[in-house]
Structure 1
Amino acid sequence: MRLYDTHCHLDFSAFDKDRSQVVAGAQRVGVERFMLLGITEQQWSNLIKLCDDFSPAFRFSLGLHPYFIHQHQSTHINALASCFESLSDSARARCQAIGEIGLDATCEQPKLQKALLDQQLVLAKNYQLPVILHHRKTLDELLKSVREKRVEHGVVHAFSGSYEQAAAWVDQGFKLGIGGTITYERAKKTRDAIQRIGVEHLVLETDAPDMPLCGYQGRRNEPKRVAQVLQSLAKLLETSTEAISPVLWKNSTALFN
């Protein structure tokens, strides 16, 4: 069984003491690739170095996450473009998305958030890369921006919307990132949407060290838990992990080519 954790933060300090063991544990349950996310200008260089030095299974994206809006300036768009242009050939091959970008209604400076989002969407079009989108109470507003910029490839990280919202994103050409949320029985709206939308539109993720699965609240999340997300998804879809894991792998590798 081949698994891809399409969204994790293995460069975070939460993994500094046992990163090798965490990766090995994930690989033992079938995780063959890991997508690590760019979130701030200050973090990019360390992220790139980690992916170059640590494991051939690592891939990465570069972006300006709205949660860290107080660390961003409008000039960081130029810095992002320069960072892409300066990547070595090996790093460029591993840099497979613009992200994590998006809109967050719980964070300040909505105008700056929107300006940075729009400019990063343009960069994604220019570099012919998919986008990895963060949302919080902004799914519909985010879709409007994506449509305006005619971006047709990417993933909605930690999808938690309705079936109608899921269908709208799928129509736009996006995959839905499925993680710990579906392991909670109370997430009825999202579970219903995922059940109806079809596995061909999904990718697996953990968001490690955040977004723990049901039963692991208060504990550090890890990429190995993606295997449990797969089990929960198979149960939700009333099928087997063997039936859907090849589809999910294909979805992920096609998206992050």
Structure 2
Amino acid sequence: MAETTPPEIVDSHCHLDFPDFADELPDVIARARAAGVTRMVTICTRLRAEPSVRAIAERFEGVYYAAGTHPMSAHEEPLIRTEDLVALAAHPKFVGIGETGLDYHYTAESKEIQQVSLRLHIEAAQETGLPLIIHTRGADEDTARILTEGMKAKPYGCVMHCFSSGAALARAALDLGFYLSMSGIATFPKSQELRDIFAAAPLDRILVETDSPYLAPPPHRGRRNEPAYTALTARIGAQVYGLDYADFAAHTRANFDRLFWKAKP
């Protein structure tokens, strides 16, 4: 019987420059493609790592990148400059701003500098037209407030990466026209409340991601995650929406193309 080609899907957020993938990138990319993951966005979380992240995107077809200062690193890194992000956006494979955001779970003591950094990233998204990539944990109210203030000043696109916050932040983000990204967290048995939040969201606002090497979905939970496993998370997403896998993959792919317009084929 002839082999069937898996439906194409996009991993909207991974970290291919992390040491977990050292010396194995060609195999990781090959496994992703075999699983139907034809495009992926690798995320730079500290600007000093941008050259190495860019080099990965330049090396592999279908790999794009974004850059910013992760909120948990905001107190350790030089304060980002909007003009530096705007300059990076000239690269044809630079497709997003961030990840940025607020994390009060582990780094609440640096919340003031996190908020300053987030606002600078928002300005870069507004100036470039590229989507903002938001990480938020334990900071739902401040995240919603700052994102809303930014939108009132000048519109911009945004994805709530690895969304695992509450229903109120989901609704605030959706009301702003933003997207929610489903990670392996949504596949965990105890994540029914999160799956319910996704089920209440419009299908045309959903992306999928791995956040690899973190948050591997079953049956790989507890081990290294990789872009190929986007398909495993998306299969759960299809169940959440009552769709077959191919339909869900097509919807999330179209959503990705709309938001990450520079990475559209």
Runs of 4+, deviation exceeding 4 Å: none
Structure 2 residue aligned with 1:177: 181
Does the residue aligned with 2:12 lie in a helix, a strand or coil? strand
Q: Which deviates more from structure 2 when the two are superposed, residues 108-117 or residues 209-218?
A: 209-218
Q: Distance in 2 between matches of 1:175 and 1:34?
A: 17
Indicate the residue corresponding to 2:4 in structure 1: none
How much does 1:180 deviate? 0.5
Counterpart Cα distance in 2 of 1:222 and 1:233: 18
Per-residue CA distance 1:61-116 (angstroms, 9 max, x = gap): 11011122343123x32xx62364266x6xx2211110100000021311111111
Aligned to 1:71: 76
Pick closer, same or farther for the CA change 1:86–1:193 going to 2, 3 Å: closer
* 1:26 aligned partner: 32
Corresponding residue of 1:58: 63
Q: 1:167 deviation in Å?
A: 2.2
Q: Which amino acid is the alignment partner of residue 110 of structure 1?
A: K
Which residue of 1 is the match for residue 144 of structure 2? Answer: 143
Q: Kindly indicate whether the alpha-carbon contact (under 8 Å) linking 2:215 and 2:222 is maintained by their aligned counterparts in 1.
A: no
Q: Are 1:157 and 2:161 an aligned pair?
A: yes
| CA distance in 1 between partners of 2:95 and 2:62 (Å) | 13
CA distance in 1, matches of 2:195, 2:40: 24
How far the C-alpha of 1:218 sits from its partner, in A, is 2.3
Deviation of the 1:248 alpha carbon: 0.6
Are the equivalent residues in 2 in contact too, given 1:40–1:71 (CA < 8 A)?
no
**1:256 is aligned to 2:260:** yes
TM-score by length of 2: 0.89
**Structure 2 partner of 1:186:** 190
Q: Does 1:221 align with 2:225?
A: yes
Superimposed CA distance per residue, residues 2-29 of structure 1 (whole angstroms, 9 cap, x where no aligned partner): 1100000011111112111011001001
How far 1:238 sits from its partner (Å)? 2.2
Letter in 1 for 2:208: L
- Give the Cα separation in 2 of the matches to 1:104 and 1:162: 14
In the alignment of these two chains, the number of paired residues is 250
For the pair 1:97 / 2:96, whether they are aligned, the reply is yes
Correspondence for 2:127: 126
Q: 1:170 to 1:86 in 2, by over 3 A?
A: closer
| Structure 2 unmatched ranges of 5 or more | 1-6
The question of whether the paired residues in 1 share the 8 Å contact of 2:183 and 2:210 is answered with yes
AA at the equivalent of 1:132: I
Give yes or no for contact 2:85–2:97 (8 Å, CA) kept in 1: no
| Separation (CA, whole Å) in 1 of partners of 2:193 and 2:101 | 22
The SS at the match of 1:71 is coil
CA distance in structure 1 between the partners assigned to 2:86 and 2:119 by the alignment: 17
CA–CA distance in structure 2, aligned partners of residues 161 and 3 of structure 1: 24
Report the Cα distance in structure 2 between the residues aligned to 1:61 and 1:4, rounded to whole angstroms.
15
CA distance in 2, matches of 1:161, 1:81: 31
Task: Tell me by how many angstroms 1:204 deviates.
Answer: 0.6
- Overall identity of the aligned pairs, in %: 25
Query: Given that residues 201 and 251 in structure 1 are in contact (C-alpha distance below 8 angstroms), is that contact kept between their aligned partners in structure 2?
Result: yes
Q: Are the equivalent residues in 2 in contact too, given 1:163–1:196 (CA < 8 A)?
A: no
Range moving further from structure 2, 65-74 or 224-233: 65-74
Taking structure 1 as reference, are residues 228 and 169 closer, same or farther at Cα in structure 2, changes over 3 Å only?
same
Deviation per CA, 1:118-164: give whole Å up to 9, x if none. 11111111111110000111123112111111144110011113334
List gaps (5 residues or longer) in structure 1: none
Q: Secondary structure at the match of 1:109?
A: helix
RMSD, aligned CA: 1.6
- Taking structure 1 as the reference length, the TM-score comes to 0.92
Is the 2:85–2:124 Cα contact (8 Å) retained in structure 1? no
